[in-house]
């Protein structure tokens, strides 16, 4: 490798690390703060070197039952993703392989629902949930998350399905395969990497959803977003405990994201933005 090329590579690597550090700095600072005392956390001169303490994690665990909230988050994130996929796969299949002249408009309209502020539909949704006894239930939260993420999932799956050559499905049809068989035996295996990355993104979105989680749940179905919200306060010192609670809330999803980063990147770069 010529020295010019090497220099260029080194520069790009350094730049990549610098950008990564800037992006991940808030999360790193959050984790660091969770090991500080409250006085160190609010100090005007930030402490980089300090004696780490686990007292905030102990305090958080004493006050709440983390696993109750985490269990709800897992059920809601995974459950809503499965439900949304069950609806989105046939929908995206129909749109990708049997399009009408309104398909594109329908896709855009579905996505446009994401642009409406959630608070705009708060009262009707709250009343519907009340009438259906879905307030403070995991079923209710699972349902709303599935509906919230449905437009993005349909859009991403549609893009992935469009990558599958039409001829493969037509050949199967010539051999007498039904649309259901076509979908399950051919399309799903071929588009599996795309489905996996879409699922991962949907899980992350459902895990981080806060507005509806805070509004529609109380004690029984509250997920980790409600757990984090319980440690903020306008009175008294709380930064370290809030950081410890936030670290505990994001840890599972960060680990999942880390393990599946290849699929995620593929999903984000080849899916929705293509």
Closest CA to 93 of 178, 154, 171, 151: 154
CB-side neighbour CA atoms (13 Å) of 204: 20
The span of 74-82, 152-160, 182-190, 221-229 binding another protein (CB under 8 A) equals 221-229
Spatial separation of the C-alpha atoms in residues 81 and 75, rounded to whole Å: 10
Whichever of 166 and 220 has its CB closer to another protein, that residue is: 220
Q: How far apart are the first and last CA of the chain?
A: 34
Spatial separation of the C-alpha atoms in residues 29 and 175, rounded to whole Å: 59
Select from 220, 251, 265, 274 the one that contacts another protein (CB under 8 A).
Answer: 220
The span of 15-23, 50-58, 82-90, 226-234 binding another protein (CB under 8 A) equals 226-234
Select from 100, 112, 178, 233 the one that contacts another protein (CB under 8 A).
Answer: 233
User: Helix (H, G, I), strand (E, B), or coil: what is residue 82?
Assistant: helix
Spatial separation of the C-alpha atoms in residues 69 and 145, rounded to whole Å: 16
Which tokens sit at 261? 């980063």
In the complex, minimum distance from the CB of residue 237 to another protein, in angstroms, rounded to a whole number: 7
Select from 26, 102, 236, 273 the one that contacts another protein (CB under 8 A).
Answer: 236
In the complex, minimum distance from the CB of residue 148 to another protein, in angstroms, rounded to a whole number: 18
- If binding means CB under 8 A, how many residues of this protein chain bind another protein? 30
Spatial separation of the C-alpha atoms in residues 224 and 215, rounded to whole Å: 13
The span of 8-16, 38-46, 109-117, 170-178 binding another protein (CB under 8 A) equals 38-46
Closest CA to 230 of 220, 240, 245: 245
Interactions with another protein, residue window 117-146 (CB under 8 A): 122-123, 126-127, 129-130, 135-136
In the complex, minimum distance from the CB of residue 129 to another protein, in angstroms, rounded to a whole number: 8
Select from 215, 252, 257, 272 the one that contacts another protein (CB under 8 A).
Answer: 215
Spatial separation of the C-alpha atoms in residues 43 and 50, rounded to whole Å: 12
Residue ranges that bind another protein, judged by CB under 8 A: 39, 42, 44, 63-64, 122-123, 126-127, 129-130, 135-136, 214-215, 218-220, 222, 226, 229-238
């Amino acid at each position: 490798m010529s020295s010019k090329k090497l220099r260029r590579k080194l520069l790009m690597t350094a730049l990549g690390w610098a950008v990564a550090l800037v992006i991940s700095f808030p999360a790193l600072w959050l984790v660091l703060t969770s090991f500080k005392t409250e006085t160190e956390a609010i100090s005007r001169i930030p402490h980089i070197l300090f004696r780490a303490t686990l007292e905030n994690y102990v305090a958080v665990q004493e006050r709440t039952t983390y696993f109750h909230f985490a269990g709800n988050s897992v059920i809601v994130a995974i459950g809503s993703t499965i439900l949304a996929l069950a609806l989105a796969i046939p929908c995206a299949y129909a749109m990708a392989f049997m399009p009408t002249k309104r398909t594109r408009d329908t896709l855009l309209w579905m996505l446009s629902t994401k642009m409406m502020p959630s608070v705009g539909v708060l009262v009707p949704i709250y009343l519907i949930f009340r009438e259906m006894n879905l307030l403070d239930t995991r079923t209710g939260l699972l349902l709303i998350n599935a509906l919230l993420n449905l437009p993005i999932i349909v859009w991403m799956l549609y893009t992935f399905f469009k990558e599958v050559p039409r001829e493969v499905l037509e050949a199967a049809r010539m051999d007498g395969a039904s649309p259901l068989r076509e979908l399950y035996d051919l399309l799903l295996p071929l588009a599996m990497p795309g489905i996996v990355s879409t699922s991962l993104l949907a899980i992350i979105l459902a895990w981080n959803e806060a507005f509806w989680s805070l509004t529609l749940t109380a004690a029984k179905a509250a997920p980790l977003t409600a757990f984090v919200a319980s440690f903020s306060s306008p009175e008294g010192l709380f930064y370290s405990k809030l950081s410890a609670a936030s670290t505990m809330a994001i840890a599972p999803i960060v680990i999942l994201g880390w393990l599946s980063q290849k699929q995620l990147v593929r999903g984000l770069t080849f899916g929705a933005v293509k």
